């Protein structure tokens, strides 16, 4: 924790200049739009985490893992959508197995036998998580005989169990970001615009977005969120044993009292939430169906928006693309007075237009890049620290929850996080 506090303080000492934007004329959001922005905010966090901690080792290991999964699934008679769904669930099962402190010998028979208090506690936690995953698949009608066996065969063939801890850490999210081009949050933002759930205020979307190429991004991104919902539910049920509030409210500032109230209210909703239909049971091209899905997902989603409460996402997402360009084009300048189409800002602006069909000025990207630079670096440092620590297993807090309000951290640290992360 001392390392985290030091990094926050260091980041806060960097000067940030940011244009004042007038948002008083922005229309109020309806409930479905609020949920859609929560989804984008959540995925944006993992966009940043994936970009900042990606390595050549991960690129190699994930590529091999996906090939092994493909080899196994290609033997089944699946359409492309069924293929993506089962690939996702196999990755989920692999993450559950790999993220235990010790590898365990596992019998398929044990998965369906009553839990025994004398069994190894790590095995019990793994068994609970795998049981929960299998139950979700059965409810969605996608479970198949031999699923658990396939998990272990894929682990053996890919040898991913021999990879380093950071490679195995939160495997589903990291593989997702390695499989698709660009920002996952930007793809989902564009999808919500296409469905007319969201709209852009100043810049109009073009028709250059490739729906065919990006056909399964929306499906996989929402499946990932559903997997994280499962993680949070199990963590609440078996680790926290419910929702407890131990901090004295009188000692908190008004802003943190508000955040704390929202934090516990959402976790209470999660604890009492019902199962919701999975994304693959909906037609993803029909606005009314996706609106219905978002409404049913909301009680379980339990995400508090981290980065902004304003509709400035075209620029924020463009800032991510600018960060990517800077990481991969170290010799190029970030922004220049004379436009020649060669600065990272100009390249990122072009990528936003060509990849997502979204228009944003290069200078605006630069402003938002400067605003978010320190939060990018801080998220990288924290995620790297977590990935290198001893794994506590699948049942653990959602990574993004640490960056909104976390009850185990002091008021000072929570305030510092708010100042560093949130775009005012």
Q: pLDDT in tens for each of the 424 residues of the chain?
A: 445 445 444 444 433 333 333 333 345 669 999 999 999 999 999 999 998 888 899 999 999 999 999 999 999 999 999 999 999 999 999 999 998 654 444 444 454 444 444 356 677 888 999 999 999 999 999 999 999 999 999 999 999 999 999 999 999 999 999 999 999 999 999 999 999 999 875 555 666 788 888 999 999 999 999 999 999 888 888 876 544 555 555 566 666 566 666 666 666 677 777 889 999 999 999 999 999 999 999 999 988 888 887 778 998 999 999 999 988 877 788 876 555 668 999 999 999 999 999 998 898 888 888 877 777 888 888 888 888 775 667 888 888 877 765 655 555 555 555 555 555 5
What was the pLDDT predicted at 158? 97
Cα–Cα–Cα angle for 262, 12, 371, rounded to 5 degrees: 75
Two structure tokens written together for 52:
């900042």
Comparing CA positions, the residue from 301, 253, 295, 290 lying closest to residue 419 is 253
Per DSSP, 160 falls in state: G
What was the pLDDT predicted at 94? 98
Q: Would you say 173 and 46 are in contact if contact means Cβ atoms under 8 Å apart? A: yes
CA distance 192 to 217: 12
Two structure tokens written together for 80:
């492309």
Q: Would you say 69 and 91 are in contact if contact means Cβ atoms under 8 Å apart? A: yes
The two most distant CA atoms of the chain are separated, in Å, by 71
Comparing CA positions, the residue from 180, 90, 70, 95 lying closest to residue 142 is 90
Token match 């950071």: residue?
166
What was the pLDDT predicted at 5? 45
Comparing CA positions, the residue from 47, 132, 119 lying closest to residue 89 is 132
Helix (H/G/I), strand (E/B), else coil: 246: coil
What was the pLDDT predicted at 421? 58
What was the pLDDT predicted at 104? 42
Comparing CA positions, the residue from 86, 48, 61, 127 lying closest to residue 317 is 48
Comparing CA positions, the residue from 180, 146, 163, 145 lying closest to residue 95 is 163
What was the pLDDT predicted at 40? 97
What was the pLDDT predicted at 26? 46
Backbone dihedral region for residue 389 (phi beyond 0: left; psi -120 to 50: alpha; all else: beta): beta
């Amino acid at each position: 924790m001392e390392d985290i506090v030091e990094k926050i303080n260091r980041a806060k000492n960097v000067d940030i200049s940011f244009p004042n934007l007038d948002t008083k004329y922005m229309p109020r959001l309806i409930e479905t739009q609020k949920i859609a922005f929560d989804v984008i905010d959540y995925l944006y966090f993992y966009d940043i985490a994936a970009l900042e901690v990606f390595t050549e080792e991960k690129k190699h290991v994930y590529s091999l893992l996906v090939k092994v999964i493909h080899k196994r699934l290609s033997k089944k008679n699946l359409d492309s959508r069924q293929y993506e769904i089962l690939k996702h669930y196999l990755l989920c099962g692999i993450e559950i197995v790999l993220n235990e402190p010790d590898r365990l010998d596992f019998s398929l028979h044990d998965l369906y036998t009553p839990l025994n208090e004398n069994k190894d506690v790590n095995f019990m936690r793994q068994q609970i998580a795998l049981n929960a995953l299998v139950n979700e698949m059965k409810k969605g009608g996608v479970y198949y005989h031999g699923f658990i066996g396939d998990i272990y065969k894929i682990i053996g063939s890919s040898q991913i169990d021999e990879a380093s801890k950071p490679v195995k850490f939160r495997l589903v999210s990291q593989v997702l970001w390695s499989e698709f081009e660009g920002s996952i949050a930007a793809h989902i933002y564009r999808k919500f615009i296409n469905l007319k759930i969201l709209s852009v205020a100043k810049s109009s979307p073009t028709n250059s977005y490739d729906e065919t190429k990006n056909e399964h991004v929306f499906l996989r991104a929402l499946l990932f969120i559903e997997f994280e919902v499962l993680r949070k539910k199990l963590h609440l049920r078996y680790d926290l044993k419910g929702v407890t509030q131990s901090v004295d409210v009188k000692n908190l500032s008004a802003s943190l009292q508000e955040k704390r109230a929202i934090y516990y209210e959402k976790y209470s909703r999660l604890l009492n939430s019902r199962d919701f239909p999975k994304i693959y049971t909906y037609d993803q091209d029909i606005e009314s169906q996706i609106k219905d899905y978002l409404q049913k997902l909301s009680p379980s989603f339990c995400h508090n928006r981290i980065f902004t409460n304003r509709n400035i996402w075209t620029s924020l997402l463009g800032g991510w693309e600018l960060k990517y360009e800077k990481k991969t084009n170290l010799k190029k300048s970030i922004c220049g007075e004379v436009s020649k189409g060669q600065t990272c800002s100009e390249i990122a602006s072009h990528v936003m237009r060509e990849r997502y069909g979204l228009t944003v000025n290069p200078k605006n990207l630069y402003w938002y890049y400067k605003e978010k630079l320190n939060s990018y670096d801080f998220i990288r440092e924290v995620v790297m620290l977590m990935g290198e620590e001893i794994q506590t297993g699948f049942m653990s807090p959602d990574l993004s929850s640490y960056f909104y309000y976390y009850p185990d951290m002091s008021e000072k640290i929570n305030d510092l996080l708010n100042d560093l992360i949130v775009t005012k």
